[in-house]
Structure 1
Amino acid sequence: MRRLTSILTTVVLPLVLASCEGRNDPPPEAFGPHVVATPAASVTSPRADDTSAPHVAEHPTALPPITMHKDPYCECCSLWARHVEGAGFPVSVVVDRNMDAFKRSVGVPAGKGSCHTAQVEGYFIEGHVPVEDIHRLLAERPDARGLSAPGMPVGSPGMPGPPRPYTVYLIGKDGSSTPFSQHGQ
């Protein structure tokens, strides 16, 4: 186990992080069938015949759709989308080459950004937020802009490696942030 952890943190993690930073850019088709890589933002839905991730049809309770905006070359974003799909949320992906402008437009504050930004029922979900936090957000419906897991926490949904402690923040309408949940403890 110790050797596997060492391999993950020295080989796999740098490759994932490099792809999210725009280095070693894989071709757009490497992201799977439910992603369209185009210079302008475009939206697609998971195909019914896509067996790579479970879809909402397998879950008895219909959940609201999530739209995720991502850079075309970030694979960890696609892994996070599969995490959310596995919980029953239908996910559409918008490939966007100007993520900074989109993040500003939905109110992600400086210092709370990550590699992708999703939207669900009027809230943004910034970064590798676990699905249980999304469920809680939608159940409680706070007067806020959304949730953020700043950076790319190792071991969070979509990020390989052993879990490390990180905080998910609730972002208020005024841009303030308060801890919403703790993970990897």
Structure 2
Amino acid sequence: MKKRKNVIGAVVFLMTGGVATADALEFEVAKTQSCGCCLAWIEVLQAAGHNVESRNLPMATLMQHKVKNGIGPDMTSCHTAKVAGYTIEGHVPVEDIERLVKEKPDAIGLAVPGMPVGSPGMEYGETRDAFDVYLVKADGTTEVFNSYRAVE
């Protein structure tokens, strides 16, 4: 019996390319209907193996949704997501979201304010603006969670 389990384990390992994959996260994304970069960011999440449900909201409702979920005006971008109890605002890289969920800090979530060129969903060739990913704390203050350098 033990030999059979080892064979099954080896087959599963080979079928998955021999790479361990993280558990898929479940995202709920709120966006406006006409935002193409929101769709591109969703595709980045899905390509990383995560599950995404999205809903289109009128802009005024979306802004209320952001405030309700702890995102202040200085941290806003075009879409707002919920994952594992955290709020994700804007074009936050997948790796930072996965790190947040793994480390479980006492925080509201992460935000990339604005729409920096080269951030996930805002790709423009190899060009990337420098941008910071902010950890949004429960009291509304922020601190840099990760930084990305400009690439020209």
Note closer, same or farther for the CA distance 1:139–1:61 as it changes in structure 2 (3 Å cut): closer
Aligned-partner Cα distance in 2 for 1:72–1:115: 11
Higher gyration radius (CA): 2
SS at match of 1:138: helix
Q: For residue 6 of structure 1, what is the aligned residue in structure 2?
A: none
Q: CA deviation at 1:183?
A: 1.2
Q: For residue 57 of structure 2, what is the aligned residue in structure 1?
A: 96
Structure 1 unmatched ranges of 5 or more: 1-58
Aligned-partner Cα distance in 2 for 1:107–1:147: 10
SS at match of 1:111: helix
Q: For residue 70 of structure 2, what is the aligned residue in structure 1?
A: 107
Aligned-partner Cα distance in 2 for 1:61–1:80: 19
Q: CA deviation at 1:60?
A: 4.8
Q: CA deviation at 1:61?
A: 4.1
Aligned-partner Cα distance in 1 for 2:75–2:22: 32
Supply the RMSD in Å over aligned alpha carbons.
Answer: 1.2
Q: For residue 151 of structure 1, what is the aligned residue in structure 2?
A: 114
Note closer, same or farther for the CA distance 1:60–1:181 as it changes in structure 2 (3 Å cut): closer
Aligned-partner Cα distance in 2 for 1:61–1:146: 20
What TM-score results when the alignment is normalised by the length of structure 2? 0.80
Q: CA deviation at 1:94?
A: 1.1
What TM-score results when the alignment is normalised by the length of structure 1? 0.66
Is residue 181 from structure 1 mapped to residue 146 from structure 2 by the alignment? yes
Give deviations 1:52-96, integer Å, cap 9, x for gaps: xxxxxxx95432200110011101000000001111110000111
Is residue 117 from structure 1 mapped to residue 80 from structure 2 by the alignment? yes
Q: For residue 26 of structure 1, what is the aligned residue in structure 2?
A: none
SS at match of 1:67: strand
Aligned-partner Cα distance in 2 for 1:123–1:169: 13
Q: For residue 71 of structure 1, what is the aligned residue in structure 2?
A: 32
Equivalent residue letter for 1:164? D
Aligned-partner Cα distance in 2 for 1:144–1:174: 9
Note closer, same or farther for the CA distance 1:61–1:140 as it changes in structure 2 (3 Å cut): closer
Q: CA deviation at 1:184?
A: 3.1
Aligned-partner Cα distance in 1 for 2:82–2:49: 15
Q: CA deviation at 1:110?
A: 1.8
Equivalent residue letter for 1:71? T
Residue identity over aligned pairs, in percent, reads 41
Count of residues paired in the alignment: 127
Structure 2 unmatched ranges of 5 or more: 1-19
Aligned-partner Cα distance in 1 for 2:118–2:25: 26
Which portions of structure 1, spanning 4 or more consecutive aligned residues, are displaced by more than 4 angstroms? Answer: none
